[in-house]
Amino acid sequence: MTYRLLGRTGVRVSQLCLGTMNFGGPTPDDTATRIVDAALDAGVNFVDTADMYNAGRSEEVVGAALAGRRDRVVLATKVHFRMGDGPNDEGNSRLHILRACEQSLRRLKTDYIDLYQIHRPSPEIPVEETLDALTDLVRAGKVRYIGCSTHPAWMVMEALAASERRGLARYVSEQPPYNLLDRRIENELVPLATRYGLAILPWAPLAQGVLAGRYPSETDLPADSRAARLPGSIYARRVTIRGVNAGLRFTALAREHGKTPGQLALLWCKDQPGVTSPIVGPRTL
């Protein structure tokens, strides 16, 4: 395994990051542990989860799977989405971030989070409030580094400027959707990241399975696919006629070169300019 620096930090992470969105959901707990075992045995030292994945169950499963070997991985999780019925149980306010961090630490069975990420923007909340809360978590030793996910380039730049202006903790990474069929970040986010030393951690490098040859047609959805299990979700909406046809051509191309389509999609993604570590979220071993 080859390792890359996480943005401007001195932390080295594997070229692939293990995503755990399926843990605590369609993936049984014992299978999740075996997936973690296989990833660590292959040299993967980067694991990503989020508090909202399966209502906290993903974090619990990850914490249990890493018992006794927590220090072997760079552990990332996220905060933003609704985690309760109260009006302050979501978003990027100081109140929600501090409360959510404590809950994530408990579920993960750890004293610290290596990379704590703001899962989505909260445009109504000043970025300074969000960064103030994250800075306090860093100073308290509960968080090592901070990042964001699926933020437009102008919001990332706004946060970097606020950190510089006020001496606050600085984002070291952005986690955007990126794959051969979705290259929007190349216009602004990639140049921003390379100029200011941000790690890009792409999610959906296989285009929700479209580039892995999972979908024979737009309507013939495998019963165990995310598009079938989550109708109306971003996963289902991205399975289009155009995408499926491109995926089928891509599958044929990969096989011509002795690769599975998933392998070729990952190879393409991980070696694009600015990319540090694509996130691969397997359901099965």
Point out the residues that are catalytic: 53
Give yes or no for a contact between 148 and 178, defined as CB atoms under 8 angstroms apart: no
Buried b / exposed e over 4-40, threshold 16 CB at 10 Å, is bebbebebebbbbbbbbbbbbbebeeebbbebbeebb
**Among candidates 139, 74, 67, 137, which has minimal Cα distance to 100?**
137
* CA 227/CA 221 separation, integer angstroms: 7
77: tokens are 């999780």
**Among candidates 14, 26, 8, which has minimal Cα distance to 225?**
26
Q: Which helix (H) or strand (E) holds 153?
A: helix 153-166
Count of all residues that appear for the chain in the document: 285
* CA 149/CA 121 separation, integer angstroms: 8
Give yes or no for a contact between 32 and 67, defined as CB atoms under 8 angstroms apart: no
Buried b / exposed e over 79-94, threshold 16 CB at 10 Å, is bbeebeeeeeebbbbe
12-14 and 3-5 strand pairing: antiparallel
